[in-house]
């Protein structure tokens, strides 16, 4: 009887230790997974799509201003995607065709572009986002290529991309940019 009781207690202890070990392992696995996701996780700014209350293009663009409390908390990745998603990005074709014309136009209209231009050496982070974005297929392709053109156009005025980075940005013409 004593052996059976000891055996039962030993099994119970073993079961408790096993449950405890699996609980700790699961917690550590979830924690490591969430931190890995945290590096890639970001939230794209959602611009308005309803402009029925606007009478002019200027009113529409004002409606697309990113509130300062949101803008101040955005990462470089979120800012680059805000440039890509800017609803009036297509207007770049209507702006000056002179070097710096595209980027000067966007710096005046896009809070996200202006904030990126104000950072100290954001080029590597911009390139990382644009390269990853270019690898994805989908409805954003033309805007991604257009954003590449605009960032390339900002060379010297707003950014200091390397030769290799400029070559990548310049490839946007081949992929359907202006």
Tell the burial category of 63 from Cβ atoms under 10 Å away from its Cβ (0-12, 13-18, 19+): middle
Distance CA 80, CA 104 (A): 16
pLDDT mean across residues, the chain? 78
Say which residue, 83 or 16, is predicted with more confidence.
83
Distance CA 158, CA 151 (A): 9
- Rounded to two decimals, the pTM is 0.71
> Helix, strand or coil for residue 155?
strand
Distance CA 120, CA 62 (A): 27
Distance CA 172, CA 165 (A): 12
Per-residue confidence band for 111, with pLDDT thresholds at 50, 70 and 90: very high
């Amino acid at each position: 009887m004593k052996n059976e009781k000891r055996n039962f207690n030993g099994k119970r202890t073993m079961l408790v230790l096993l449950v405890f070990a699996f609980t700790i392992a699961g917690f550590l696995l979830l924690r490591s997974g969430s931190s890995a996701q945290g590096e890639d996780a970001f939230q794209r700014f959602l611009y308005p799509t309803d402009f029925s209350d606007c009478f002019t293009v200027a009113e529409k663009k004002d409606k697309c201003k990113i509130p300062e409390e949101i803008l101040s908390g955005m990462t470089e990745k979120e800012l680059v995607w805000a440039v890509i998603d800017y609803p009036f990005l297509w207007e770049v074709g209507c702006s000056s065709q002179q070097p710096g014309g595209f980027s000067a136009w966007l710096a005046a209209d896009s809070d996200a572009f202006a904030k990126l231009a104000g950072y100290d050496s954001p080029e590597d982070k911009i390139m990382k986002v644009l390269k990853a974005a270019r690898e994805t297929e989908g409805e954003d392709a033309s805007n991604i290529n257009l954003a590449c053109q605009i960032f390339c156009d900002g060379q010297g005025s707003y950014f200091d991309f390397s030769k290799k980075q400029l070559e990548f940005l310049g490839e946007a013409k081949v992929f359907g940019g202006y």
